[in-house]
Structure 1
Amino acid sequence: MAALAGIGRMPDTIEDRAVVVQMRRRTPTEQVAPYRHRRDRPRLQKLSERLNGWLRDDLSALEAAEPVMPVEDRAADTWEPLIAIADHAGANWPHRARTALLDLQDESDDDQSERIRLLADCHTAFGSEQALPTQQLLRHLRADPEAPWADYGPRGDGLTARQLGKLLSEYGIQSGTVRFTQGRAKGYRRDSFDDAWARYTPELVTDSNSPGGPPREPALTLVRTPRDDLRGA
């Protein structure tokens, strides 16, 4: 396993396969001992050596371990080595490790749900439009009283163009200069959302193809020719 640190969120492809620990700025009333390289590193190095020796002595048992996991699929694959180590350590570590897993997984699921909600709300805002100015898209999003966008942000000021761009960039969606009937303006094109909608909100894509939904372009059909058959022979 590797440790990555950064400011802000990392791409979904990384966070979905990682144990994400959110760091927060300490408050003025919180006292934290500062880290000093010359003073603290030797002690941490000794601890690292002890842990490494303990793991290597029992490596075969850890490799064969199949711990009971409180989650499934990708989350289970990510956490399994840590849970196996906790089970091997014994005492209250198995309980503590699984509690931490569930707590951190709940936070991750909440963040993921919020971003998928944004994709769904953008789909609603577009309707049958092929492009929307950024400010018009923001007005649509903030107008929904049941959505979190009207008071989004640390101060509750509402979703901004910058925040919208940052959230959507995780899906490869970017704004650009678009020609509208009123002139050129920064905005988003509908087709830039198509891949994210198909992957994360497929039910919306299906609904769009149903009667009453916005018409979509027909899928391309691959036609085989005799030359294609010869190449495959």
Structure 2
Amino acid sequence: MVNSHSDGINTLADALDSITEWVSKYTVLPDAYTAPTLALWVAHTHVSTAFYTTPRIVASSPVAGSGKTRLLELIAGVAYMPKQTVNSSTAAIYRRINKALADDGLPPTLLYDEADALFGPRPTPQSEDMRALLNAGYKAGATVDRCEGDSHDVVEFPVFAPVALAGLAGHMPDTITTRAITIEMKKRRRGEKITPYRERTAYAEMAGVREFLTAWSRRAHDDMKTTEATMPHGVEDRPAEVWEPLVIIADAAGGHWPATARDACRSFVFAPEKRPPSTGVELLSDIRKVMGHDPDDDTALVPVDTIRTSELVEKLNKMTESGWRDVDSGRGVSPRFLSRILSGYDVRPVSIRDSLGSGKGYTTGVTYKHGKPFQSGFFDAWGRYLPTPSISEIGDNGDSSDVAGQTPQTLSPFAESVGDTSVTSSATGDKKVTENKPLNSTVTSVTDVTDFSNSGEGKTTEVPHPDDDIVTLIVNAATDAGGSGVGHGVIGKLVREATGDGSRALAVADEMVAAGLLDVDDQNRYYMKETA
């Protein structure tokens, strides 16, 4: 007798709950968010053409026998028109999609097992064609052109379709994983119990759910086309594209599902990066340690603003745990190697002056040539490319405004002033920069140095948060320094000690320069702007 999971399926929420329970019954999943995510993804395959994107599912694991194939089998039991592909050509795939759209108005759900074999370390023309097809098929309207018939008429074949892939970790192209929700599968521990899986029995259990989703998709499809979702705070750009279809479906289901979907979204999007970092990212991370700016290094010395190329090369090659001595065919880190890798992050060697005299080196901040930025410096690269806050650092409501003293991609007080001397006020908050005592230094009121555009006759200018505290810290430091100026390292250290993160310090300082509040010399020391 089949123990049905389809009894009492009257609403979309019922169907999603049933899929969640059913998937969890037959496989061990890495966390509590995976089964609800799979339920939402399965539902989206029944209305996929209502959305602009169709996120990929990637089931990954470091070793075989971790449940990846079982996950694809379970998806096949409830997804719309599942097609498990084995060594299919790209031509067969796009023709299959075209036929399904012509017959039923929806593309099939494509399931690829052992995808790591397809995307091996040595790409072939066939694997590159398949990768291009899977990448393009992520967005609605994508097509491939082929000549057909004796007259060689150009025919457009649509490639938009839901896709789930399974394979060993580390072999999936980044162009696919950045469009995907990656599920890190693990081997089952001794003692972890699941229900023995028999495909015929398991599929029969979900017959009612499949029938409900078929009927629901006909009713809901057009409404889904015009719906937009409010994404969790900090989920933007590509992650927002990936997750919006699932959040829209969760909102339509109601009950606990809107909150469950957003919790799952935050869990996946803000999860710590599990893939090995690229050479460039690893290099940036180690340079941050060498220069004393690593927030997680309690043993760090006083941070430095600049470092000679020769000193940086020597210190990197001495970091035996990072293996820099073995890079570049065993030659180790060299000035040429540094320049080649770091230039991709807009970090370039510049002329510096220190106790040894003049020389070439690197700096944490922006440098200028002929009045224009020449390179962005390490602070900008560290803030952009080193890991973002994990979910454990973000509040239950997803608001990361208290994480490291800033929200992701926040607008600084001077964002509208670059290249101009005016400052556009914002209504994002009622905070005013008045007095703040972040450390033991003498505090200078910002009231006397605001109103850069001369529009308020000495009145306190409202500066939108979260950068107003950073502005106050920089103004105080530059005022205390007087004619000697204040360097990058001091500014970064002050801001990091006061807010928990110094990654925005130099960006705000440079925006203050552009706004006419600070001056900066060729040694990247900041001074209060002299006033008449």
Q: Is the 8 A contact 1:87 1:93 kept in 2?
A: yes
Q: Is the 8 A contact 1:121 1:141 kept in 2?
A: no
Tell which structure's C-alpha radius of gyration is larger. 2
Q: Write out aligned runs for 1:18-167 (5 A).
A: 18-44=180-206, 46-70=208-232, 71-107=235-271, 109-111=272-274, 115=278, 117-121=281-285, 140-142=319-321
Percentage identity across paired residues of the two chains? 31
SS at match of 2:255: coil
Give 1:2's aligned residue.
Answer: 163
Q: Write out aligned runs for 1:216-231 (5 A).
A: none
Q: 1:13, CA displacement in angstroms?
A: 2.0
Q: 1:41, CA displacement in angstroms?
A: 2.6
Q: 1:50, CA displacement in angstroms?
A: 2.5
Q: Is the 8 A contact 1:83 1:94 kept in 2?
A: yes
**TM, length-normalised to structure 1:** 0.56
User: Whole-Å Cα distance in 2 between the matches of residues 83 and 63 of structure 1?
Assistant: 13
2:361 to 213, 216, 226: 213
Deviations, residues 2-36 of structure 1 (Å, cap 9, x unaligned): 21111113332222221111111121121122322
SS at match of 2:167: coil
Assess, with a 3 A threshold, how the Cα gap between structure 1 residues 123 and 29 changes in structure 2: closer, same or farther. same
User: Whole-Å Cα distance in 2 between the matches of residues 192 and 49 of structure 1?
Assistant: 60
Q: Is the 8 A contact 1:86 1:94 kept in 2?
A: yes
Counterpart amino acid of residue 164 in structure 2: A
Counterpart amino acid of residue 190 in structure 2: P
Assess, with a 3 A threshold, how the Cα gap between structure 1 residues 73 and 38 changes in structure 2: closer, same or farther. same
Counterpart amino acid of residue 361 in structure 2: G
Q: 1:114, CA displacement in angstroms?
A: 5.1
User: Whole-Å Cα distance in 1 between the matches of residues 197 and 275 of structure 2?
Assistant: 33
Q: 1:47, CA displacement in angstroms?
A: 2.8
Say what the alpha-carbon RMSD is for the aligned residues.
4.0
**TM, length-normalised to structure 2:** 0.27
Task: Tell me how many residue pairs correspond in the alignment.
Answer: 169
Deviations, residues 35-73 of structure 1 (Å, cap 9, x unaligned): 222221333455334323312311111111111011111
Q: 1:88, CA displacement in angstroms?
A: 0.4
Assess, with a 3 A threshold, how the Cα gap between structure 1 residues 190 and 11 changes in structure 2: closer, same or farther. farther
Compare the two structures and name the one with the higher strand fraction.
2
